[in-house]
Amino acid sequence: MREILGKRRGLRFRRSGRHAQLEAALTCATVRQWPVLPGVGRAAPGGRDRACACPDPDCAVPGAHPFEPGLLAATTDERMVRWWWGNRPAAPLILATGGRAPCALSLPAVAGARALVALDGMGVRLGPVVATPTRWSLLVAPYSLERLGELLHAKDWVPSSLRFHGEGGYLVLPPSETGAGPVWWERAPSPAPRIRTGAAGPAAAAPWLPDVEAVVDALVEASSGAPGGGSRLAY
C-alpha cells in the first residue's frame, strides 16, 4: 500500500533523552552494519547559534560533516561507537556512504517532497528517506562511481539540483541536530528481518534499499513531465 506523504513526519519530534544519538548510532553500526562516526556538531548545541564547531567561519554545512575523527574512521565496532558518543552524546550521526554501506541521492526539500509523490505515483518502491529543513535524501543500494557515470551519461537530462552521496561520501542521519536544523526520517527504515547464522544464533539484516537506476530513471521521468520541463524540481 502506498504510503501517504507526511504520514511519518511525527518522527522528527520524537525524543528519547540524552542517549538518543548513541542508540541510533548503535542501531546503524551493529544492527544494520552501516559504518558511522560522530559529526563535528554545532558551536552551541541546543542554542540559537547555528555556527559550526569546526574552525571554518564560512562552513557550507555547519555541524553536518566529519572533522575529528575523519571520515576514514567510520566503523561498525560497538566499543568505538560507545566511546565516541559516551564522550559527545549530542554529536550528529554521520553515515559513511558507499562500499557495502548505502549510497544516497539528495535534492532540495521542496523538490524532494514533490519527487516522492511522483515516485509513489509511478509505483516505485522506496527505501529510507532522510529529511532536513533544506534537503531530502533517498537511500539506495551501493553503487560505484563508474556505474553512476555510465547511468548519468545515458540520460538526455538530469536535474541539476541532484547530489550523489557515493563512495567516499557521507550523510547525516536522524536524530541529529545540525546548523540547518533537525534531521528526521521522512520514511524510516523498515524493521530488519531476522536471518539465521547457525550456532551464533539469529542476526539482523540491513533494511531493503532500491537500486539507484530505478530511482534516477523515475525521478528524471517525473521531472521531464513536470510543468516547465521539470524546472520546478531544480530548486
Q: What is the dihedral of CA 140, 145, 147, 150, to 10 degrees?
A: 120
Using CA atoms, how far apart are residues 231 and 195, in angstroms rounded to an integer?
45
**Residue 176 pLDDT > 70, yes or no?**
yes
**Any domain includes 3:** no
Write the pLDDT tens digit of every residue in 16-33: 456 899 999 999 999 999
**What is the structure's pLDDT at 47?**
63
**Any domain includes 4:** no
**Any domain includes 5:** no
Q: How many domains does the chain have?
A: 1
**What is the structure's pLDDT at 42?**
87
**Residue 69 pLDDT > 90, yes or no?**
yes
- 92 φ, ψ to 5°? -60, 150
Write out the residue range of the structural domain in which residue 31 sits.
13-233
Beta-carbon contacts of residue 228 (< 8 Å; ≥ 6 apart)? none
Write the pLDDT tens digit of every residue in 99-138: 989 999 998 888 888 889 989 998 999 999 999 999 999 9
Looking at per-residue pLDDT, the higher value among 202 and 49 belongs to 49
Segment 47-71 mean pLDDT: 89
- Cell numbers 550456532 correspond to what residue? 199
Whether residue 116 contacts residue 129, with contact meaning beta carbons closer than 8 Å, is answered with yes
**Any domain includes 6:** no
**Any domain includes 106:** yes
How do strand 93-97 and strand 135-140 relate by DSSP bridges? unpaired
Report which of 27, 32, 76, 26 is spatially closest to residue 205, judged by C-alpha positions. Answer: 32
**What is the structure's pLDDT at 218?**
78
Write the pLDDT tens digit of every residue in 140-157: 999 988 888 898 888 888
Looking at per-residue pLDDT, the higher value among 60 and 158 belongs to 60
**Any domain includes 7:** no
Amino acid sitting at position 197:
T
Report which of 133, 95, 127, 94 is spatially closest to residue 113, judged by C-alpha positions. Answer: 133
Mean pLDDT, the chain, integer: 82
**Residue 193 pLDDT > 80, yes or no?**
no
Using CA atoms, how far apart are residues 172 and 214, in angstroms rounded to an integer?
23
**Residue 207 pLDDT > 60, yes or no?**
yes
Among 83-92, 94-103, 113-122, 196-205, the least confident range: 196-205
Segment 33-58 mean pLDDT: 87
Amino acid sitting at position 136:
W
